[in-house]
Amino acid sequence: MSGSLITFAFSIYFPFEWALTAFFEVLNMCDIGAGLRNLGNTCYMNSVLQCLTYTAPLANYFLTCEHSKRCVKKGFCMMCLMQKHIAQVKRIAGHFKQGRQEDAHEFLRYAVDALQQACLTGYDSLDRTTTFIHQVFGGYLRSEVRCLNCSGVSDTFDQFLDLQLDIKKANSVIEALKEYVRPENLGESCYKCSKCNKMVTATKTFSIHQPPNVLTLCLNRFDVFSENKISKMVTYPEFIDIHPYTSEKSEGTINYRLYAVLVHAGNTCNSGHYYCYVQAPNSKWYKMNDDCVTPVDINTVLKLEAYLLFYIRYELLYLPCLNIVPQQQSLLTCFLETIDRIVSLENAFKINSLWINYNCVTDITVLILGVLLGAYSTVLYICN
């Protein structure tokens, strides 16, 4: 939404608290999950899916589902290390083509949007602020236009799921954030002030009005027109306080911790290779390069030419386990059933050289469980 005032959702049908089920307690037995096989220029999808998988609140959301109800085997099945294969990518974004390299950030946005739409299926009167996906990734930006003639201020607020940072003149994420919130001179006679009732000179300033629980930063490395890449090191911290970039004037901190980094190697957005680094539930970092998974240290992670950075609110890492009431379970089931219509699945999977055929369509929980719990089995995509 956009407007002079923020109107927050009266009822949240997919509350964020559902996801706070002690991610690091539930999965503290896990080391690192499986890699994902590259089927021919699918590295952009693999990298995005891995970053989403290690987004703790999102993973918890899927892990709360009773997997045994959807599994062929009765009870919990440790062998359900299945991988979704997005055989018809057009269900998420019509212009995405199999076998063609695509932009990882664009795919992330389409994937998250598809998840939001799935949340709203059957709830026509609701907007996106009610969805669980918004509770994870969503925030609000404030746009303040100030008249330099009368000092009058006009505010508008817009939802955002990530922040795109200009890095042409910035050598660090901190510098890019400072530039993001720097007042912009709109020039003479570019803004009509309602108080002055005439065109005036004004400034426009962006700030983060409501910070998200998961902060996704996109470093704009690709020129919109030439598609050429800005290849340079832009430093970023493991921990970041975004309070200086918010519209909150009082003192305080809003701390985040880095948990995933997506990297592009190449000269243009339509060529090259994507891979990522993620922090596992055991707090160790791993490089996820398609089906190759290798341990790395934090010093390596902080010296990359990052394209996408994923941060999580620091306090969310230490919240107690919550119980899911039956009514919420039914909504979770509803969510998982609707998302099946968005992501197509394969009926055949290969695990440790064993072929298993399924006549039913599973849900995205399989992806989360498969990648998180697949420490000893590389997932293999099956092409149509």
Active-site annotation holds for 80: no
* Residue 49 confidence (pLDDT): 84
Catalytic residue among 30, 43, 147, 190: 43
CB 59 within 8 A of CB 310: no
Cα radius of gyration (the chain): 22
CB 280 within 8 A of CB 183: no
CA distances from 85 to 42, 56, 201 (A): 10, 22, 53
Strands (E) located in the chain:
2-3, 139-147, 153-160, 163-166, 184-185, 191-193, 198-200, 202-210, 214-220, 239-241, 255-265, 273-279, 285-289, 292-296, 306-313, 348-351, 354-357
Question: For the chain (length 384 residues), average pLDDT per consecutive 10?
Answer: 45 46 44 73 85 78 47 35 31 46 80 70 58 84 91 90 94 97 86 88 93 94 78 96 90 92 86 91 90 94 97 70 36 39 31 25 38 33 26
Quick one: which of 140, 144, 177, 136 has its CA closest to 160?
140
In the chain, where the domains are located = 15-373
CB 207 within 8 A of CB 163: no
Amino acid found at 112: V
Catalytic residue among 196, 273, 292, 334: 273
* Residue 170 confidence (pLDDT): 95
* Residue 60 confidence (pLDDT): 66
Name the region of 312 (left: φ>0; alpha: ψ -120 to 50; beta: rest). Answer: beta
Record the pTM: 0.72
- 3-state SS string over 147-159? ECCCCCEEEEEEE
Quick one: which of 106, 108, 33 has its CA closest to 63?
33
Tell me the angle at which helices 56-63 and 365-373 cross, rounded to the nearest 10 degrees.
Answer: 110
Paired strand residues for 295: 286
Measured at the alpha carbon of residue 95, what is the angle toward residues 91 and 99, in degrees to the nearest 5? Answer: 90
- Give me the torsion for CA of 96, 124, 141, 264, rounded to 10°: -20
Q: Which two tokens stand for residue 103?
A: 């932009």
Superfamily of domain 15-373: Cysteine proteinases (3.90.70.10)
Quick one: which of 251, 149, 222 has its CA closest to 191?
149
Active-site annotation holds for 43: yes
- How far, in Å, CA of 232 to CA of 282, rounded? 31
